[in-house]
Amino acid sequence: MTIALQKFDELRLEQVRREFGGLNALKDVTLTVKRGEFIALLGPSGCGKSTTLNCIAGLLPVTGGSIWLDKRRIDTLRPEERGFGMVFQSYALFPHLTVKQNVGFGLKMRGVPKAEISRKVDEALALVRLTGQAQKLPGQLSGGQQQRVAIARAIVIEPPLVLMDEPLSNLDAKLRLEMRAEIRRIHNTLGATTIYVTHDQDEALSLADRIVVLKDGVIRQVGTPNELYEKPAHIDVADFMGFRNRIKGRVIRQAGASATLAVGGSEVTGIMRSSVQDGSEAYAAIRADDLMTGEPGQNAFAARIETIEYRGREFVGTARTSDGIDLVFRSDHAVALGANVHLRAAPERVLVFSEAM
Amino acid sequence: MTMTVLAEKQIIESGPSLHQRLAARGFDAVTLLVIPAFALLALLFVYPFAYGLILSFEPKAGSAWSNYQRFFTDPYLYTTIWKTLLLSVPVTVLNLVVSLPVAFRVRLMYRQRLLTTILVVPITLGTVLIAEGLLNYLGPQGWFNRTLIAVGLIDHPLRLVHNYWGVFASLLINGFPFTFLLVLSYVTGIDPALEQAAATLGANARQRFTSVFLPILMPGLAITFCLSFVQAFSVFPSAVLLGEPAGQTRVISIAAYQAAFEEYDYSMASAIAMIMGIVQLAIVLGMMATRGLFYRGPVAGTKG
C-alpha cells in the first residue's frame, strides 16, 4: 500500500458560525476530530450537517469562529489549498473524463509526473475494487461504480481528511448496505480520518466511531453509537435514535432517577435523562420495539389499533389513545384493526426529557 | 364463469391489436399533430427553397450555370462573401468571448430573471431602431464622440458610422442578448458540484475553467456560434443604414437585394441566396465537425 494519507493529530472547529441571509445555519459549533476517527454528522435536513462539512472543505466561508488542523488555521484557506478529499452526494464525477482521468485529476492538478499518476490511480482503483473499468466514462457506469470512482478520486490525493456528504443516498437499499461496508473497509485499510454526513441513523450507528447529532445548527450530543443509542441526552437525539413515541405530559412525582408523567388519563414512569420539575411539562420517549400489547396497569395506554404492518418476524402498528395520542408499537402476533388494546412499556425502557433545552 | 375464461383466452390468442402495435412503434393519435407542422414547413420552407434553387438555374441569358459563373467572376459580387464573413465571424466570436465570463458571473446571481429581461429588450426593439439610435449616438456629433473629446482622449470625432465599425457595433448589440442567453443556459446546466469537486481536488480557478468547464461547454459553444453566426451572416438593415452599402459593408444580402429589386433579375438573386446558404452551411458544418473532438454527453455530471 503506497497510498499514505497525510498525518495530523487533530482537526478542531472552534465556535464555528455560519450565517446565511440573516439565518443562523450554524451556531457556535465546537468539535475536535482525532486522527483515524470515523465521525458521522447526523441530523434531519436543514440541521447544518452539510453546512458544517462544506465549511470544513472550504466550499462555504465561515462567518465566525475558526477551524484548525493541528497548529494551522485553515478556515481562511481556499478549498484547493486545504487538500481534503471530498465525496459528493451527486458523486460530481467529471462527465467528459474517463474513470482513470477522473481519479487522476487531483494528482494532475498537483503536477505529479504521469507515470506516478498512473501507478497511484491503478492502486486507488484496486482499493475500491474497480479494476478494469479505467477507460470508461462515468455515464457508462452504474450508481455503485460511480460511487467507487468518487471515493477513489478523493483518497488518491492522500488527504489528511476524507469528507463524505451523504454518499449513499442515491443508491438503492441493497447497494447502500454493500457500499456502507465498503466505505468502512476503505477507511480501515487506509487508516483514514473520515467525516461523514448522513440523515440515516442506521448508517451513522453502523459506520461511525463517534456520532455528532445536529439540530437547528447546534450540536445536541456527541458520543459513541452505543452512548447515543442507550443514553440520548436530548429529546431530539432520542427522536433520531428510534424513539418514535414522543409523549408529552406533566411531571407528577419523582423518585430517584425516575419520574412519572401524567398523560391524559394514564401515568407513565421512566428514567430521567434531563432534570425535570414537578408540575412542569416533559416528554416520555419510547421506542416502538419497547411498546407492546399487554395487560392494563402501570405504564399502559388504552388505545385503538389504527394500522398494522407485517414485517416478517413481527408486526408494527399504530394506535390512538382516547386522548388523541398516536403511538407506534410492536407486536409478535397479528392484531385486528380497530381492536382496543393496552400498550405497555417497561419503566426502564422509557426515557423522560424536560421540554426545553 | 366458463364464459369469462373463454373470452379472456380469445383475447390472448388474437395478440395485440393493430392500434397497440402502432402505438408500440410510436404511432398513435398524437402523431397526427405533427401534420400541421409538416405542412407549414413544406409550404414556407421546402417549397420556396426548391423554387429558388430551380429558379437560380434558369438565368435570363446563357447556360444553366451562368448565374453562378457571373457571381464568381465579378469581383463586385464575389467579394461580398468575404466582406460578410469579415463582419459576421469576428462579431460572433466577440459575442461568445464576452458572453462567457458574464454568464459565469450571472450564474451565481439571485435576480437572473431581471437581468435576462433587460437583455431581451434589444431583441424586441429590432435592428432598425438600434441602427437609427447608433447613427445618432456614434455619429460625429453624438454623445460618444463628444464625451471622448471632452475627456481629451481625441481631438477630432472618430468616424464610427457609415463604415465597417457602425455595422460591427450594431451586430454586436443585436447579437449579444441571443448569444448570452444561449451561453447562460449551457453554463447553468453544469452541476455546481463539479466545480466544487475540482476545487477540493486542488484545481485553482483557472484550472477549473480550462479542465472542467471549457471541455464540457465546448459543444454548446459550437452550437451557439453556429446560431449566432447565421444570424449575423444574414445582416441587411444595419449594413445599409449604418454601413457603407456600396463599399466596405456591401454584404451578400445587399447583392441579392440589388439583383432582385434593382436589376429585377430574380434568377440571379436566387443564385446569390443559394451561394449565401452554401457559405453558411459550410461554416456550420465545419463547426459541427469540431464538436466531434469534444465530449458530448450529459453535462449534469452523473446519474442521481
Domain boundaries, chain A: 10-236, 243-354
pLDDT at A308: 92
Q: Residue B273 region, left (φ>0) first, then alpha (ψ -120 to 50), else beta?
A: alpha
Query: Which CATH number does the domain B75-291 belong to among 1.10.3720.10, 3.40.50.300, 2.30.22.10, 2.60.40.1180?
Result: 1.10.3720.10
How far away is chain B from the Cα of A78, in angstroms, using its nearest Cα? Answer: 8
A-chain residues near B210 (CB < 8 A): none
Residues 6+ apart with CB under 8 A from B120: B177, B181
Chain B residue with CA closest to A103: the answer is B201
- Substitution target in B195, B200, B204 with the highest count of A β-carbons within 10 Å is B200
Partnered with residue A222 across adjacent β-strands are A212
**Residue in A closest to B202 by C-alpha:** A80
- State whether A109 and B202 contact (CB < 8 Å): yes
The answer, yes or no, to whether residue B10 has pLDDT greater than 70, is no
Nearest to A83 among B202, B299, B302 (CB): B202
Residue-by-residue pLDDT tens, chain A, 357 positions: 578 888 899 999 999 999 877 677 899 999 999 999 999 999 988 889 999 999 999 999 999 999 999 999 999 999 999 999 999 999 999 999 999 999 999 999 999 999 999 999 999 999 999 988 899 999 999 989 999 999 999 999 999 999 999 999 888 889 999 999 999 999 999 999 999 999 999 999 999 999 999 998 999 999 999 999 999 999 889 988 888 999 999 999 888 889 999 888 788 999 998 888 888 899 999 999 999 988 888 889 999 999 999 988 899 999 999 888 899 999 988 888 999 999 999 999 999 998 765
Shortest Cα distance from B106 to chain A (angstroms)? 19
* 3-state SS, residue A267: strand
Å from A29 to nearest chain B CA? 22
Specify the 3-state DSSP secondary structure of B129: helix
Chain B residues inside the 8 Å CB shell of A141: 302
The shortest C-alpha distance from B190 to chain A (Å) reads: 10
Helix (H, G, I), strand (E, B) or coil at B270: helix
Backbone phi, psi, residue A332, to 5°:
-95, 0
Q: Where do the structural domains in chain B lie, given as residue ranges?
A: 75-291
Task: Quote the CA–CA distance of B47 and B41 in Å, as a whole number.
Answer: 8
Tally of CA atoms within 13 A in the half-sphere of B298 that contains its CB:
12
A120 touches chain B (CB under 8 A): no
Provide the residue count of chain B: 304
Dihedral pair phi/psi, residue B294, rounded to 5°: -115, 165
**CB contacts, 8 Å: A109 with chain B:** 198, 201-204, 207, 211
Tell which residue, A90, A207, A106, has the closest CA to residue A146. A90
On whether any CB of chain B is under 8 Å from the CB of A94, the answer is yes
Rounded-to-integer distance, Cα A122 and Cα A152, Å: 10
pLDDT at B39 over 90: yes
Contact A90 B304 (CB under 8 A): yes
| Tens digits of residue pLDDT in B162-217 | 999 999 999 998 899 999 999 999 999 898 899 999 999 999 999 999 999 999 99
pLDDT band at B246 (very low <50, low <70, confident <90, very high): confident
Can you spell out the DSSP letters for A73-104?
E-TTS-HHHH--EEE-TT----TTS-HHHHHH
Instruction: Tell me if B301 and A139 make a contact (CB, 8 A cut-off).
Output: no
Q: HEC string of B228-257? A: HHHHHHCCCHHHHHCCCCCCCCCCHHHHHH
A96/chain B closest Cα distance in angstroms: 5
Q: What is the pLDDT of residue B304?
A: 39
Class of CATH domain A243-354: mainly beta
Supply the mean pLDDT for chain B.
87
What residues of chain B have any CB closer than 8 angstroms to a CB in chain A? 191, 193-194, 196-204, 207, 211-212, 215-216, 294-295, 297-304
**Cross-chain residue pair B299–A143, CB shorter than 8 Å:** no
pLDDT top residue among B33 and A356? B33
**Pairwise CB contact (< 8 Å): A57 & B299:** no
Distance from CA of B194 to the nearest CA of A (A): 5
Q: What does the alpha-carbon distance between residue A219 and residue A199 come to, in Å, rounded to a whole number?
A: 14
Domain A10-236 has CATH 3.20.20.70: no
In A, which residues are within 8 Å of B304 by CB distance? 89-91, 143, 146, 170
Instruction: For an interface test with B, give the residue of A53, A82, A86, A90 to mutate (most B CBs within 10 A).
Output: A90
A172 interfacial to chain B (CB closer than 8 Å) = no
Q: How far is A85 from chain B (nearest CA, A)?
A: 6
Q: Could you say which of B193, B204, B298 has the minimum Cβ distance to residue A92?
A: B193
Is the Cβ pair A153, B201 closer than 8 Å? yes
Compute the C-alpha angle A19/A23/A28, nearest 5°. 50
- Provide the pairing of β-strand A162-165 with A85-87: parallel
Residues of chain B neighbouring A88 (CB-CB closer than 8 A):
193, 196-197
Q: Write the DSSP assignment of A47-83 as a string of letters.
A: SSHHHHHHHHHTSS--SEEEEEETTEE-TTS-HHHH-
- Are the Cβ atoms of A146 and B299 closer than 8 angstroms? no
Which residues on B lie below 8 Å from A94 (Cβ)? 194, 197-198, 212, 216, 301
Q: Identify the pLDDT of residue A92.
A: 94
Is A308 near chain B, with CB under 8 Å? Answer: no
Question: Does A58 contact B199 at a Cβ distance shorter than 8 Å?
Answer: yes
The average pLDDT across B218-239 equals 91
Q: Which residues of A42-78 are buried (b: 16+ CB within 10 A; e: fewer)?
A: bbeeebbbbbbbbbbbbbbebeebebebeeeebbeee
Q: Which residue of B has its CA nearest to A92?
A: B194
Give the helix, strand, coil percentages of chain B, each rounded to 5: 75, 0, 25
CA distance A125 to chain B (A): 17
Backbone angles phi, psi at A2, to 5 degrees: -105, -10
Residue B300's pLDDT is 53
- Nearest CB neighbour to A139, from listed B191, B203, B298: B298
According to DSSP, the residues that pair with A234 across neighbouring strands are none
In chain B, which residue's Cα lies nearest the Cα of A147? B302
* Contact criterion met (CB below 8 Å) for A70 and A14: no
Yes or no, beta carbons of B200 and A85 under 8 Å apart: yes
Q: How far is CA A243 from the centre of its chain?
A: 15
Q: How far apart are CA B161 and CA B152, in angstroms?
A: 21
pLDDT band at B19 (very low <50, low <70, confident <90, very high): confident
Looking at per-residue pLDDT, the higher value among A168 and B12 belongs to A168
**Cell numbers at A127, concatenated:** 482499493
- Yes or no: say if A285 and A246 are a contact pair by the CB < 8 Å rule: yes
Q: What pLDDT is attached to residue A1? A: 55
* Chain A contact set for B193 (CB, 8 A): 88-90, 92
Best of A99, A109, A117 to disrupt the B interface by mutation (most B CBs within 10 Å)? A109
Q: What distance lies between CA B72 and its chain's CA centroid?
A: 26
Cβ of A146 within 8 Å of Cβ of B191? The answer is no
